[in-house]
Chains A and B, each alone.
Chain A
């Protein structure tokens, strides 16, 4: 109640309507199913509109969005971290040891068949070997991501899958762990397909290891055109968290998984960053650590007709902050790259935004977890009120700067004021060390600002041409608002220049 009064008072102010998340979106806390540790590993809306959720201790529960009642579909899975509801009686779940098809054959509303679809990957028993997915493409293929192990712990005596001795002999994992844990790599991939994204045909169980170089790919999804995107988390070999456009055979930076490439014989840690950089595919989007995200999760395309002008862009969850990000991509020089910006930011959204799913009515279900890191538990349900906020809709690279497009015509005087666009650029080092400081950082002043006749687009040229390999951070000044007096809802955006445009 107090919040509403406060907003009303602001709205009455002559020129600026500050605006908060709840002016544009409703956020509802959904009661968790009884008796469940409500750490959400996966969410999926079935064709009939029911919400399937899987939880930390292995439960699968179904929410009827009409009656808001939960029913039990399955129990006893092993750390399920993704679910796909093909129908109300058949779902696919990625659990630690396998991709499983759960089917309710006797029609009592609960699964009685647990069919192993694919378990052809290794497990050392190391806690960090999470298994993510499945993201299901238009052809019905499942895409999963396999986390690498952490040298915060060693391996079990009995592992599953073939062991790879490159770098550190297996015996040392048991007998000399204290001494070799450094040499093992901060994150390691001793059994097959750790650090890989794998394509699986769920009809046959045939798996095709697709791309390597992932550290913690806790998020797979597709853009509106069906291209695969995968997030990864800051750490060793990952200067800051990122989003990759993933192509077959690509290497996306984390060295450990390379030992499972066909014909690979060297210790990638000895090959070193300089050489690996030559075969590495840089990210489409970088999420600056701290300022944007510490632990990005699932990318999910906004469907047509949902969230107004943002349809077709990607949402990406974030664990550490109460934030869901928005990613706007463009093709430059034959590669996808673009901007990230907060979309839903701060209370009443919780932290730990691990999984996202759109309902049939265009509302967004958000599942939260922590797994003992920073996060939260539970499910929130978000719907647009219909009013479109003043936002940066697009940020596109130009040879000498950027073109910004707003969702509404901007106040012309403020939008044409160069002082309202504070840029800085920096890059992240590609190296074995954990994370990277921002390097070669420089503040950049706009040289020229030109506003389009409809008042929605601003072309900003900077004092130097934009540089490949740099993130451009834009902070928009507080006086910039819409012509109608709505303040910009999110003012901090980041554009990753993988390729600099020639024009």
Chain B
């Protein structure tokens, strides 16, 4: 019954045999153990397969300690100083019930122990210097588990993750620079006021894709140190496709920044010596891109790749083979491209 309190993917009791329960506990990104807690019986012989699955390439160990002894053992590990590496950063302490050595990323170790007969909450912790302050979990032996978000025996991040997400309305319009899929690393996500969204690439100085629906989920990037891309939360109906590298070579456009007007960005960039100003505007069923340039002396070619999912109309110039050719006069006036999902 208590086990059902845990979200299923976080809990992995592999099998319960004569040797007692077997568990897999992984070290994961953000100095965390996954699962953050497990349940066993007092006096039970258990085996923990400890796997270092931390994608940020950090070594970790795992030490199971007596109830209440986590801080003491973590501090004793820190006090090992220069002797730490040879001892797997594990102090010689009677408070330690079982230990797994320092495990390199991608590797695993096994840790077997018989839990004491006393009911209790037995912490597991990584005592690699510094990690122990945040990287810990708990074996509940004969003690009921509190709800995850109230559990003081697990790491603060795991406790936080146990909270139900608050249903907050999306802020619109908004501009968020973040790693976006299918763009250069210098991407800008734009939520238009209604239900249209765009990824504009400051590396290429171009619109990369447009979608309808919700904006983005930045959690994969924000939860850690940036080793993840934001998720697009709607249906992409137009994309520039792959573009290769940005910002390399003498002909690369130069991004100059943006000005917010009513919360929406007015992008500025220089391409071929000409200053371009570009805005994104919401249509009831799509997105309108308005590109303006002062002082062009010859017709400009604006790349507008076709996409089977979209219908594109232009206010001026000739759109052919994924390129729009516009006269200096039209550019000075502003060219309007409307992109809509194809019917």
Contacts and interface: CB of A to CB of B under 8 A. Distances in A.
Interface of A: 37, 56-58, 75-79, 95-98, 100-101, 111-116, 119-120, 122-125, 127-130, 150-153, 156-163, 186, 289-291, 294, 320-321, 351, 370-374, 437-438, 441
Nearest to A375: B134
B225 A373 contact: yes
Interface residues of B, number: 54
Interface in B61-82: 78, 81-82
Interface in B121-180: 129-131, 133-134, 174-179
Contacts of B222: 37, 56-57
Contacts of B177: 58, 76-78, 95-97
Contacts of B133: 351, 374
A100 B226 contact: no
A465 to B, nearest CB: 24
Given A119-B255, A152-B56, A160 B185 contact: yes
Given A76-B175, A127-B226, A158-B243, A372 B31 contact: yes
Contacts of A150: 56-57
5 contacts: A116-B255, A125-B184, A161-B247, A163-B248, A372-B225
B237 interface: no
A485 to B, nearest CB: 28
Interface of B is mostly: loop
B43 interface: no
Contacts of B260: 111-114
Given A116-B255, A127-B56, A437-B82, A371 B224 contact: yes
B231 to A, nearest CB: 15
Contact of B129 (A151, A161, A294, A370): A294
Contacts of B134: 370, 374
Q: Give the top 3 A-B pairs by smallest Cβ distance, nearest first.
A: A152-B57, A78-B177, A127-B227
Interface of B: 29-31, 55-58, 78, 81-82, 84-85, 105, 129-131, 133-134, 174-179, 183-186, 202-203, 218, 222-228, 242-249, 255-261, 265
A438 B257 CA distance: 48
Given A127-B227, A153-B227, 11 more contacts: A97-B185, A113-B259, A125-B185, A127-B56, A127-B228, A157-B242, A160-B248, A372-B29, A372-B30, A373-B31, A437-B82
Contact of A160 (B82, B184, B259, B261): B184
A159 B226 contact: no
A290 B129 contact: yes
A75 B175 contact: yes
B53 to A, nearest CB: 12
Q: Which among A37, A78, A163, A294 has the highest number of chain B CB atoms within 10 Å? A: A78
Contacts of A127: 56, 224-228
A152 B105 contact: yes
Contacts of B248: 160-163
A394 B52 CA distance: 44
Contacts of A96: 177, 185, 226
A115 B256 CA distance: 6
A290 B246 contact: no
B184 A158 contact: yes
A116 B256 contact: yes
Contact of A372 (B56, B184, B242, B255): B56
Contacts of A125: 179, 184-185
A119 B56 contact: no
Given A116-B256, A374-B134, A290 B78 contact: yes
